[in-house]
Structure formats: C-alpha cells, structure tokens
Structure 1
Amino acid sequence: MSAPLALPFTRILGIDPGLRITGFGVIERQGSQLHYIASGCIKSPDGSLPERLKVILAGVQEVVDTYHPAEAAVEIVFVNVNPQSTLLLGQARGAAICGLVSRDLPVAEYTALQVKQAVVGYGKANKEQVQHMVKRLLQLEGDPQADAADALAVAISHAHGGSMAGGLATAVKSARKRGARLTSLPVRK
C-alpha cells in the first residue's frame, strides 16, 4: 500500500493598504484547507509622503523576502468622503503593489465587499465580524489586530477565489471586448 499523495500548497500574501498602517497576512492553501503562517503591520512614521511611501515599499518587499509567497492579493481602494484621504490611500496602495511586483509576484485585487462576502458571507460585515471569522477560519487562539485581520481576510478571499482564475481571466477578456474599464492586474499562471 502506497502512502497518500500530499496535496500541493500555495502560499498567499494579503495586503490591506494604508498610509499609516499597511496590514499583511500570509496563509497557505492546501486543497481546501487554509493554514495561518504570519501577519502583522508595516507602520510608516510621520513625515514627508515620499519617505512614508518608501517605508511601505521596503516593508512589503521585506515581507515577501521573509515569507516567500507565490501569489499576492490587495484590497481595492474606493473613493471616500475626503478626496485627499482617498488620494493618499491610493498612493500607499501603489507603493504596496510596486513592492509586490518588484518581487515578480502575481497580484490580484478584491473590493472590500468581495472580501467580506468571501470571509463572512455578508458584504456589509463590520470589522469585528471579519476579525472573528478570520480567527475561526484560520483556527487562531485570539483575534488578530484589525489591519492584520483585514489583510488575512484579503488572502483568504484570494484563496477561495484563486481556484477560479481561469474563469476570471475569461470574464476579464470578455469585459475588455465590451470596452469595460477594469481595476485588476492580470493574473499570471
């Protein structure tokens, strides 16, 4: 009798971008099982915007170099009430994405609604509900810090949807043919 075959695993890095605090979460998907690897925050100090963006870029690169993910996912930023805050958040998100692609990682993007739907089952869930479900899904002993929980939720969302990458690529091509503007980066296989 031969030993059972071990399912391959995929390490996924989730990013919740922020100018002050950028959350990160690393999980592994093995079949339908999810396993917690690490999570934390990249904190940028007060100071000039370029220096803060440099800290985010370097921090994301360090996380990639430390945990060696195969794929990355980032939350999409939407317009807030304050346009200046939205612009700053978008720049922080850009720095995080640059950190990922500089390490040749494929990057997927998900809206907060998609993340909450995938993790909680309800697109308008609050932060506490997301934290609680991340704790349950990854079998953690305690609730992760809010920004790290959001990043883990992004990674979980990708783990659930990543198996549908072929269908996503088809949907993207179809939308482009119709002239739609898309907000996601191409997924490399």
Structure 2
Amino acid sequence: MKIIGIDPGLRNMGWGIVVTDGPRLRHVANGIIHSAGDELGPRLATLYRGLCAVIAEHRPEAAAVEQTFVNKDAVGTLKLGQARGIALLSAAEAGLPIGEYAPNAVKKTVVGVGHAAKEQVQHMVRFLLPGAEFRGADAADALAIAICHAHHLQGRSLKIKAQA
C-alpha cells in the first residue's frame, strides 16, 4: 500500500510517501510545499494546488494527517487548523481514506517515546527508511506520519486476522 503522510503548515507543508509490503517499508518521495506572502487565501490556494499535484503524481492509496495541537497562540492554532483543512480536503477529494494522528502518537509509534525530540524522530525515520534524503524537517515529519499510519494499518490487519 502506498501512503502519503502530511505535516500541515501554513508556510511549509511537508509531505512524504512510503510503500508498505507486509512489515517492510520503502521510501518513495518527500518534499515541502511552500506558500509565500501575507494574505491567507492565496497561501491556502498554493498549498491546496501543490498537495493536489503531489497526490495526482504519486497516486497514494491512503493518507495520514497530523492533528493540530492547541497552544497558547489561539490565532496561530486557528491558522494551522486551516492548513490542516487543506490537507484533509486534498486527500478527501482524491478519494483517499484518511488517518489522523496526534503529534505524540506519531512520536510514540516511530521512536517509542511520545515526547521525543525532532532529532530523535528524524534519526528513526532514517533508520526505518534507509537511503531516504529529506527535503527538510517538515518532510521528515511527514514521513514519520506515514510510518505511523502504516504501523496502525498493519496492527488493525493483524487484529482482524486474529479475530477471524
């Protein structure tokens, strides 16, 4: 199964694609969609068009999007939520089933610790996807989200088989 992981951001939206074959993972591609300017509408449009182009090019079968965490800056959280909405819309319009994961759940799945540092996450992503070159920290985070989704899909599949 080909999975796209998406790390929503208003200036930089990271994306990463992995393929699962049973318990094995393989890196396909990763990148960052950049938006510029101060006006929110055009920035969101840039992110939407860019993510739709990535989905059309790579044709994933599932998507995983990181959930927004609420911080002290309510305006910043709201804007990040709008970028997350673009990620969900792009995947939904492509007909992809979408998994949503809290940042701590992604870290716990990939590193084993829910409050792992970014460097620890990147180290484990490199370990799990040998040879993968990240286009930036946001792309590495997106690959971690895709890995998290792959792990959860595999766990659900094993649970269903055990119940049969």
Same fold (TM over 0.5): yes
Offset, 1:81: 1.5
- CA RMSD after TM alignment: 1.6
Aligned to 1:118: 109
What is the rounded CA distance, in whole Å, between the counterparts of 2:146 and 2:134 in structure 1?
16
Question: Which residue identity is paired with 1:125?
Answer: A
| 8 Å contact from structure 1 (residues 131, 144) kept in 2 | no
1:22 to 10, 13, 34: 13
- The structure with more helix, counted as a fraction of residues: 2
Structure 1 residue 40: Cα displacement: 0.4
Identity between Structure 1 and Structure 2 (%): 45
Structure 1 residues 35 and 53: CA distance shift in structure 2, 3 A: same
Aligned residues: 159
Letter in 1 for 2:63: A
Unaligned 5+ runs, structure 2? 160-164
Shift in alpha-carbon separation, 1:143–1:15, aligned structure 2, 3 A = closer
1:154 alignment partner AA: I
- Aligned: 1:69 with 2:60: yes
**Comparing both chains, which one has the higher relative contact order based on Cα–Cα distances under 8 Å and sequence gaps of 6 or more?**
2
The reply to whether residue 37 of structure 1 matches residue 45 of structure 2 is no
Deviations 1:109-132 (A, max 9, x none): 000011001100110001111111
In structure 2, distance between residues paired with 1:166 and 1:40: 29
Secondary structure, aligned partner of 2:91: helix
Aligned counterpart, 1:102: 93
Distance change >3 Å, CA 54–CA 157, structure 1 → 2: same
Counterpart residue number, 1:59: 50
Match of 1:3 in 2: none
Q: Normalising by the residue count of structure 2, what TM-score does the alignment of the two structures yield? A: 0.92
Cα distance in 2 for partners of 1:139, 1:25 equals 14
Gaps (5+ residues) in structure 1?
Answer: 1-9, 169-189
The answer to whether the 8 A contact 1:132-1:143 is kept is no
Tell me by how many angstroms 1:164 deviates. 3.6
Q: Which moved more, 1:93-102 or 1:133-142?
A: 133-142
Match of 2:82 in 1: 91
- Please give the per-residue CA displacement for 1:14-67, whole angstroms capped at 9, x wherever unaligned: 000000000000000001000000000000111311111111111111110010
Distance 1:150 1:62 in 2: 20
What residue identity is the alignment partner of 1:162?
A: L
Matched residue of 1:66: which SS? helix
- Between the aligned partners of 2:142 and 2:40, the Cα distance in structure 1 is 22
